[in-house]
Chains A and B, each alone.
Chain A
Amino acid sequence: MSFLTKALTLDRRWIFLAIGIVVILFLLIPITLPVDVTPESQGVYDTIEALPSGSPILVAWDFDPASKPELEPMALAVIKHCFRRNLKVVAMGLWITGAPLIEQDINQVKANGFQNKKYGEDYVNLGVKVGGYVVVNTMAQSIKDAFPTDYFQTPLEQLPMMQNLKTLRDFPVVISFSAGDPGIKDAWVPFAHQRYHCIVAGGCTAVSVSEFSPYLQTRQLSGLLGGMRGAAEYEKLVDAKALATKGMNAQSFAHLMIILFIVFGNVAFFLTRRKRVQGAEGPRVQG
């Protein structure tokens, strides 16, 4: 079998190995590549920055541990921004398997410079409620109907911050970190934004960016953080470079490796095709 034929039928385990080595290598090598901020990520930053100090903000953890590597870094950066702006954060989620992530992430941000933030006064964790857009609709009439107690089983009446926050309409801005459905597309934009006129912004996994771009164009989403790149951009905006910035180094070179493989595969494809056309010997290889 010629080298070109072997190249076209390369065992995918070699590709897996190459990607694995590149990712591990560039996670360990401390390179810092400059990250350019896109208008979409700037939109999320500007939305939060425009809120007066002390305003309430609803932040939804609509993801599970599978999407944690992409969405958790952006959640940490956004919560840091909210705490820095002294916004009153009400945290919740629509994905049952993401419930412990909410408290974990808030505690992680608190431990890094925001130990003065008090539960019940500066932030509240409502926990998770399954039901997708029905939860959003229910919250629009009464938050207590959807969440009678918070994550720690405390009735909402006993939380000082929730005294003036009765419905979804009391929140000018909703931020959702969305790994799929339920999330931005089927719950927050059609209901919180379209029906109840909240400003909605958020973040999503990189594969979902393309399906949310129509909402950005129509301003139904005021901003969107796309995958780890979006998280790295937000870390740059809030001046808190962390996991996402580090992860982008590995992702950068993994992308380069994939591009090199694609170029290599196409070169082998064209050379094989030319040989076949010229009547060279060798098996007919399907591209």
Chain B
Amino acid sequence: MIKRQVPLVLTFIMGLWAVVAYFVPHRYVADPAQQFQRWYLIILAFTTVIGVGNLIMVHGEKIQRRQRGWGYSVILIAMILLMAGLGYFGNVQEGTPYYWLYQNVMSNLAAAMFSLLAFFVASASYRAFRARNKEATLLLVAAVIVMFGRVPVGSYLYRLIPWVGTHYPNFMNDLTGWIMNFPNTAGQRGIMIGAALGAVSMALRMLLGIERSYLAASGGK
């Protein structure tokens, strides 16, 4: 019972306090809330340890069992230990081995991985943007207008069109802006409101102990 009830009671008290502290600035409410937030930052640091520990366990097991791709696991664990060691025992500022590895290995690899998205977006656009029906056609037209209008060459080419380009030089920019500021914003606002209502509902369920999935398997029953 203690394993189940104590976490639920703690969640209720701390969660309710955080909500009340948002509206009540009195020091008897706000000061403890501030202290709770300091505790949160400390606990967050410990979750890094758990995360790294879990990573090492999973990949260590992969290496031990010589599963497919175990060589990459060796590199992963070696780099974790190397970067952590260099940062902990050395310095992290410019001119240090840690900084060199960050600047010349991690930074470039991370940027390259994200940049791959550009190629996949191009390929996905080719396959997805087909005018199969009215809705797909609308999506296609809007996408092409925004892609064209959001880059300098779009405005430049538009202004070369005879008469229209000279009499209405900002039409392409304005049309792109209208699509982003009205239909897009309306849709985004709807999504945000829906997500916020869902988050409020989930938070209420967790505070009241109805939702217990955050507890360990045995405590969540």
Contacts and interface: CB of A to CB of B under 8 A. Distances in A.
Interface of A: 10, 12, 15-16, 19-20, 23, 33-36, 38-39, 64-69, 97, 99-101, 103-104, 107, 129-131, 134-135, 137-138, 141, 145-146, 152, 195, 206, 209-211, 213-214, 216-217, 229, 232, 248-249, 251-259, 261-262, 265-266, 269-270, 287
A256 B144 CA distance: 9
B84 to A, nearest CB: 13
B150 A255 contact: yes
Contact of A100 (B99, B140, B147): B99
B1 interface: no
Chain A to chain B: the 4 pairs with minimum beta-carbon distance, closest first = A252-B153, A33-B152, A65-B110, A65-B107
B148 interface: yes
Contacts of A69: 111, 114-115
Contacts of A134: 37, 40-41
The majority secondary structure among interface residues of chain A is: helix
B122 A100 contact: no
A10 to B, nearest CB: 7
A34 B44 contact: no
Interface string B37-79: 1101100110010000000000000000000000000000000
B21 to A, nearest CB: 9
Interface of B: 22, 30, 34, 37-38, 40-41, 44-45, 48, 92-94, 99, 102-103, 106-108, 110-111, 113-115, 118-119, 121-123, 125-127, 129-132, 140, 143-144, 147-148, 150-156, 170, 173, 177, 180-181, 184-185, 188-189, 192
A35 B180 CA distance: 18
Contacts of B34: 138, 141, 145
Contact of B152 (A19, A130, A252): A252
B151 A248 contact: yes
A213 B107 contact: no
Contact of B103 (A39, A104, A129, A270): A104
B152 A67 contact: no
A257 B122 contact: yes
A149 to B, nearest CB: 14
Given A68-B111, A104-B103, A15 B44 contact: no
A38 B173 contact: yes
Contact of B153 (A38, A100, A130, A255): A255
B94 A131 contact: no
B106 to A, nearest CB: 6
Given A38-B173, A129-B41, A254-B122, 12 more contacts: A16-B122, A34-B152, A38-B177, A39-B177, A65-B108, A97-B106, A100-B103, A134-B37, A210-B180, A252-B152, A254-B118, A262-B126
